[in-house]
């Protein structure tokens, strides 16, 4: 199985680095100073097999258009917003709309992640709103707190990685079938045209077969 790639998207300060590091190390690190995209490599044990994974923690500061550059790279996306900042929720909607438009040929699993639920007294976006948005775009939805718990973040990542693995396998099966049916069509076309050429060749008389009068002309 090829490496599974997940891109973490979202507005600046929503906790993209916090949820990524929480999932990979089980630890919460309060302050990150990432001005660039960071790529983490790890492996995942699922059903007695190990799969290599890459998680790209994108930086909203240095990547003004991260979607375009990352969309072809990833097998799955985590779109994070901060439940205390409505602007980040709007940004998450815009990101989901872009993903929806860009990846039309294949379905790519997406997890919508509402972070910072420990700050309940400052909450601006209700759980229902998150659910509705996820329903609208057919993605998974999780409310998490990178600061408080590993459990919900782990569940979200595990489910996304499982879905990403399944869709990646389905995609490669479909591509293999398409390639082999294209090959069959081209072989058939080849044999049809090849046969016609052959027939023409056969009908064309050779010099040896021409009668003497024909040779004298």
The residues that touch ligand GTP, with contacts defined as CB under 6 A, are 10, 12-18, 30-32, 34, 59-61, 115-116, 118-119, 145-147
Residue 127: CB minimum distance to ligand GTP, A: 15
User: Which CB sits closer to ligand GTP, 13 or 126?
Assistant: 13
Residue 21: CB minimum distance to ligand GTP, A: 8
User: Which CB sits closer to ligand GTP, 29 or 185?
Assistant: 29
Residue 116: CB minimum distance to ligand GTP, A: 4
* Angle between helical axes of 86-102 and 127-137 (0-180°, round to 10): 10
- Write the Ramachandran bin of 190: left for phi over 0, alpha for psi from -120 to 50, otherwise beta: alpha
Residue 50: CB minimum distance to ligand GTP, A: 28
User: Which CB sits closer to ligand GTP, 147 or 159?
Assistant: 147
User: Which CB sits closer to ligand GTP, 121 or 204?
Assistant: 121
User: Which CB sits closer to ligand GTP, 77 or 165?
Assistant: 77
Residue 143: CB minimum distance to ligand GTP, A: 10
């Amino acid at each position: 199985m090829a490496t599974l790639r997940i891109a973490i998207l979202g507005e600046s300060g929503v906790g993209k680095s916090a949820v990524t590091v929480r999932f990979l190390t089980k630890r919460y690190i309060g302050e990150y100073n990432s001005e660039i995209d960071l790529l983490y490599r790890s492996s995942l044990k699922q059903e007695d097999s190990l799969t290599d994974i890459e998680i790209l923690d994108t930086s909203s500061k240095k990547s003004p258009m991260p979607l375009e550059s990352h969309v072809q790279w990833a097998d799955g996306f985590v779109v994070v917003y901060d439940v205390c900042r409505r602007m980040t929720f709007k940004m998450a909607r815009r990101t989901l709309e872009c993903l929806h438009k860009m990846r039309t040929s294949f379905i790519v699993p997406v997890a919508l992640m509402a972070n910072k639920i420990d700050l309940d007294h400052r909450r601006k976006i209700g759980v229902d709103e998150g659910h509705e948005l996820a329903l609208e775009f057919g993605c998974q939805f999780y409310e998490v707190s990178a600061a408080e718990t590993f459990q919900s973040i782990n569940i979200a990542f595990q489910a996304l990685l499982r879905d990403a693995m399944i869709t990646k396998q389905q995609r490669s099966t479909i591509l293999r079938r398409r390639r082999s049916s294209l090959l069959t069509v081209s072989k058939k076309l080849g044999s049809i045209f090849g046969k016609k050429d052959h027939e023409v060749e056969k009908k064309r008389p050779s010099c040896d077969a021409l009668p003497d009068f024909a040779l004298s002309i």
